[in-house]
Amino acid sequence: MNARHLTVGIGIVLMLAGTLIAMSTPSAASASPPSGGPRATLLVTGLEGAIGSTIGPDGALYVTEGAAGRITRVDPHTGETTTFASGLPKRIVDIGGAMDVAFIGETAYVLVTLVGFEVGGSDVVGIYRVDGPDSFTVVADIGEFNVHNPPTILFPFGAPTGVQYALQTYRGGFLVTDGHLNRVLRVTRDGEVTVLIAFDNIVPTGLAVSEYLVYMAEAGPGPHRPEDGKVVAFGPKSPTATEVASGAPLLVDVEFGPRHRLYALSQGIFPVDGQEGSPALPNTGALVEVNRDGTFTVVIDGLDRPTSLEFIGNTAYVVTLTGAIWKIDGISGRPSGSPR
């Protein structure tokens, strides 16, 4: 199996060579917004392999650091960082380790990927429950499930345990996207894993939930053309997903913001000579709002290789491959925004 087959279908911002890019100083959004419009300010720098995030029960931002094997708590007002939990499996290759984090009540759960036999590791690929500052319990072995239940849809893949990207709470359990095996898994807190919905080579990334509907971002296969960057929706028994909007390159997350409007995070323009798995060009990412006519409106652009999006009130928080968190204030949720 050649290296291309390992990354075909992953095509996510972060794959393989992505995090080896020299960490340049993050730049603010390139276009100055209108007076009173959204403005980006740098909140945090120096995170190690930061990919996923969530808002915790205390209202703080929690971020995974795959290179450090930890979860970091970030004060959303001051940017002060403290270690919430450490001792998770660290990434072995350029991506992996702790990828995303979610809370059920006061308990945190962490999605860990690419730490098994495929990359020379011996840790479990799956969901870990945080039992203390440095103690964890594996609650779901997703890697084992994937090895014994490979995709039935034909597309090249070379990592049998998959490359999981996003973790989302759903009906007392979890949903997990797999950007390599191109499917969404449903996982219970007892560790039962099932395939909720499977796709062709569309590279599923971020997730958001509204009542019973699941909204999902698609990065699209390389070269990640804008028309392949989509937000789709499906229910718990939907055999297929319905397109909500398209037209933004390399979408990596989707979230509900002010006035319950739907927003997506575009990592940006894929390099013309980019290899499978390369990230977007620096400073070409954008936060976009989903319109009812199936298009996107740019809220703020010039973001440097973003990976994850969260909202607190009218403020967005964007995590980037450069180890930064940007705080974007003044997002109003205009009336022409997303469907509910």
Counted domains in the chain? 1
Higher local confidence (pLDDT), 253 or 15: 253
Asked, for residue 338, whether it belongs to a domain, the answer is: no
Asked if the model's pLDDT at residue 127 lies above 50, the reply is: yes
Which CATH number is 320's domain given?
2.120.10.30
Asked, for residue 334, whether it belongs to a domain, the answer is: no
DSSP 200: S
Least confident among 18-22, 126-130, 174-178, 311-315: 18-22
Could you tell me the pLDDT band of residue 151, with boundaries at 50, 70 and 90? Answer: very high
Locate tokens 């990976």: which residue? 307
pLDDT by residue (tens digit) across 219-260?
Answer: 999 888 999 999 999 999 999 999 999 999 999 999 999 999
Asked, for residue 86, whether it belongs to a domain, the answer is: yes
Asked, for residue 340, whether it belongs to a domain, the answer is: no
pLDDT by residue (tens digit) across 76-94?
Answer: 999 999 999 999 999 999 8
Least confident among 5-9, 36-40, 325-329: 5-9
Q: Amino acid identity of 294?
A: G
Asked, for residue 335, whether it belongs to a domain, the answer is: no
Could you tell me the pLDDT band of residue 274, with boundaries at 50, 70 and 90? Answer: low
**Residue 309: other Cβ atoms inside 10 A:** 23
Residue 273 confidence (pLDDT) = 72
User: 114, 159 in Cβ contact below 8 A?
Assistant: yes
Write the burial class of residue 120 (CB in 10 Å: 0-12 exposed, 13-18 middle, 19+ buried): exposed
> Average pLDDT over the chain, rounded to whole?
88
Asked if the model's pLDDT at residue 285 lies above 60, the reply is: yes
CA separation, residue 127 to residues 100, 198, 206 (Å): 10, 20, 16
Instruction: Look up residue 46 and give its two tokens.
Output: 């120096």
Helix (H) / strand (E) containing 146? helix 142-148
> Can you tell me the distance from the alpha carbon of 38 to that of 79, in angstroms, rounded to the nearest whole number?
19
Residue 54 confidence (pLDDT) = 98
Asked, for residue 336, whether it belongs to a domain, the answer is: no
Asked if the model's pLDDT at residue 23 lies above 60, the reply is: no
Mean pLDDT calculated for residue range 1-28: 34
Asked if the model's pLDDT at residue 338 lies above 60, the reply is: no
Asked, for residue 317, whether it belongs to a domain, the answer is: yes
Asked, for residue 301, whether it belongs to a domain, the answer is: yes
Residue 36 confidence (pLDDT) = 61
| 10 contacts: CB under 8 Å, gap ≥ 6 | 16, 163, 179, 180, 203, 276, 277
Domain hosting 223: range is 3-329
DSSP 162: -
Residue 6 confidence (pLDDT) = 33
Residue 117 confidence (pLDDT) = 94
Residue 19 confidence (pLDDT) = 31
* Of the candidates 254, 249, 281, the residue with the CA atom closest to the CA atom of residue 266: 249
Asked if the model's pLDDT at residue 268 lies above 80, the reply is: yes
Residue 27 confidence (pLDDT) = 47
Asked if the model's pLDDT at residue 202 lies above 50, the reply is: yes
